[in-house]
Structure 1
Amino acid sequence: MDRRRTDGGIGPQRPDDGPVRAVPRHVACVMDGNGRWAQRRSLPRTAGHRAAEATVIDIIETARTAGVEWLSLYAFSTENWSRPDSEVAFLMRLVRRVVRKHAPLLLARGIRCRFLGVADPRIPRELARDFDDLTTLTAGSRGMTLTVAFDHGGRQDIVAAARSLILSSTPAEKVSEELFAEHLPFPDTPDVDLVIRTSGEQRISNFMLWQVAYAEWVFPEVLWPDFRAADFLSCLHTYRRRDRRFGGVPATTNGDRSR
């Protein structure tokens, strides 16, 4: 008989599973591998970006259903401006189409949408306006919060927070981690619990540097356009089996320390 977990988990409970953690509150995804997906099929890189749309919607739906409260997607970095102009222009058009196409679904699912970054003047005015419109449209939603990092750089955010503290004339002795975090974009964002980077690459790539300080990382080999619900749930299961100690010692079991 397939007994379902009663601890907020996913999938059947097996006798050898042992104790598991709760579903991560905040999951972040580095959506990597679009170009290689296209290259392996002798297609232009733009075909990989286009194919990624289905994955984005699938993962948003899966995360929400699994009980993830915050989902952050790394869509475009400050470094991505160095890509060929034709590819950048295609991405801008594609993202605008995706935002407009799926806005009704996001609203219906009760998903609050926000965009992290969006500061470079090279971003088309129409796209920036669509970001603002979707943010306003879903501001009252009380379900999962979806943060799309677009024109984002973690170092840039930290520098901006430091400048904000200086401009506020905050004395050096008053600066704490908590106060610093309040000057970051979207200071209500909780620390990331799990980062998933697809395609097997193992780099941070300047992504939410402050928020991922204590995150668990999973690096599935599958390329982003092929990443689906089952892959995402597998990553959640991997996270839930890990022992997060935050610099402490393992939990005590039967009077002994785990090794």
Structure 2
Amino acid sequence: MSKSKLDLDFFKKEVYMAPKTVAIIMDGNGRWAKQRGLPRTAGHKKGADTIRTVALAAQDMGIQKLILYAFSTENWKRPEDEVSYLCKLPGLFFNKFINELMEKNIQVTFAGELEKFPKATQDVINKAVNMTSKNTGLELCLAINYGSRREMLLSIKKYADEVASGKRENDLTEEEFSKYLFVPEDIDLMIRTSGELRISNYLLWQLAYAELIFTPVAWPDFDEKALKDCLDEFASRDRRFGGLTS
């Protein structure tokens, strides 16, 4: 049996407490390509293949939900040709990997304002969501056209409209507010690749008690070992949630 297989088996043991919900800022595609004399789109293509690698590893390692920052509300500011390629990337990814995702029982979801994308992009993502909706393994959530401030603003507006229309009382709790968000779960672990030390408008509410790891590994090079290293670091942390440990 290979060493990598032994490592993955270790994560399946009950003694290893893997985080339930992991969020990743997939950073470094462009720099990875530039270092190799390649166009930025080559970095994005390699990064898409990495999504498949990391999703399968995450499922093996016991993670229940993996949220990947695929396209931010600020990414529209990038050059038109790069934005155009990024809009085509979901189609390239799912055409290549959707059958494997089905075989591995992985469910695809998304967080963000999908309606702002070209119809072809919307169609391919909605098709992947519908095809995998009954799968019960890892939830692979793509944060696409997502920005956390925008998410919270939309949630507040929806709540205010419900109060104004008499659908509910003005008695919102923290737990109920979470249900108005694109991503209702608290995040256990947030990883940012490629060495940047910022959160970049990502899951600001949900990261309140998350462990943060910033790795120098660029996203196209982030693999099973890199994920395992992050989970090892997570397991070594003392999560007190504002309290004290004995």
User: Could you state the TM-score of these two structures normalised by the residue count of structure 1?
Assistant: 0.86
2:127 matched to which residue of 1?
133
Unaligned segments of structure 2, at least 5 residues: none
2:11 partner SS: coil
Q: CA deviation at 1:116?
A: 0.8
Q: Deviations over 1:80-99 (max 9, x none)?
A: 00000000001111221112
Instruction: Tell me whether 1:180 sits opposite 2:177 in the alignment.
Output: yes
Larger radius of gyration: 1
Asked whether the equivalents of residues 30 and 41 of structure 2 are also in contact (C-alpha less than 8 Å), the reply is: yes
Asked whether the equivalents of residues 69 and 143 of structure 2 are also in contact (C-alpha less than 8 Å), the reply is: yes
Asked whether the equivalents of residues 28 and 195 of structure 1 are also in contact (C-alpha less than 8 Å), the reply is: yes
Pick from 217, 227, 234 the counterpart of residue 232 of structure 1: 227
Asked whether the equivalents of residues 34 and 45 of structure 1 are also in contact (C-alpha less than 8 Å), the reply is: yes
Q: How does 1:68-87 map to 2 (within 5 A)?
A: 68-87=63-82
2:156 matched to which residue of 1?
162
Alpha-carbon distance between aligned partners in 1 of 2:175 and 2:241, rounded to the nearest angstrom: 17
Q: CA deviation at 1:35?
A: 0.8
Alpha-carbon distance between aligned partners in 1 of 2:44 and 2:222, rounded to the nearest angstrom: 13
Pick from 227, 236, 240 the counterpart of residue 241 of structure 1: 236
1:162 partner SS: helix
Alpha-carbon distance between aligned partners in 1 of 2:177 and 2:139, rounded to the nearest angstrom: 22
Instruction: Tell me whether 1:62 sits opposite 2:57 in the alignment.
Output: yes
Pick from 138, 145, 149 the counterpart of residue 151 of structure 1: 145
Moved beyond 3 Å, runs of 4+ = 8-12
Distance 1:231 1:65, change over 3 A: same
Q: Deviations over 1:195-248 (max 9, x none)?
A: 110011111111112211111011111111111110100000000000001111
1:15 matched to which residue of 2?
none
Pick from 61, 82, 88 the counterpart of residue 83 of structure 2: 88
Q: How does 1:27-42 map to 2 (within 5 A)?
A: 27-42=22-37
Asked whether the equivalents of residues 21 and 241 of structure 1 are also in contact (C-alpha less than 8 Å), the reply is: no
Q: How does 1:9-28 map to 2 (within 5 A)?
A: 10=11, 22-28=17-23
AA paired with 1:73?
L
Asked whether the equivalents of residues 120 and 151 of structure 1 are also in contact (C-alpha less than 8 Å), the reply is: no
Instruction: Tell me whether 1:203 sits opposite 2:204 in the alignment.
Output: no
Q: Which moved more, 1:177-186 or 1:53-62?
A: 177-186
Higher helix share: 2
AA paired with 2:57?
T
Alpha-carbon distance between aligned partners in 2 of 1:11 and 1:130, rounded to the nearest angstrom: 33
User: Could you state the TM-score of these two structures normalised by the residue count of structure 2?
Assistant: 0.90
Q: Which moved more, 1:62-71 or 1:45-54?
A: 45-54
In angstroms, what is the RMSD of aligned CA positions? Answer: 2.0
Distance 1:99 1:118, change over 3 A: farther
Q: Deviations over 1:36-67 (max 9, x none)?
A: 11111122111111111221111001000011
Alpha-carbon distance between aligned partners in 1 of 2:207 and 2:105, rounded to the nearest angstrom: 26
1:221 matched to which residue of 2?
216
1:128 partner SS: helix
1:107 matched to which residue of 2?
102
Q: CA deviation at 1:152?
A: 0.5
2:45 matched to which residue of 1?
50
AA paired with 1:164?
K
Q: Deviations over 1:104-156 (max 9, x none)?
A: 111111111101113453x1101101111111111111111110001001111
Identity of aligned residues (%): 39
2:110 partner SS: strand
1:73 partner SS: strand
Distance 1:167 1:196, change over 3 A: same
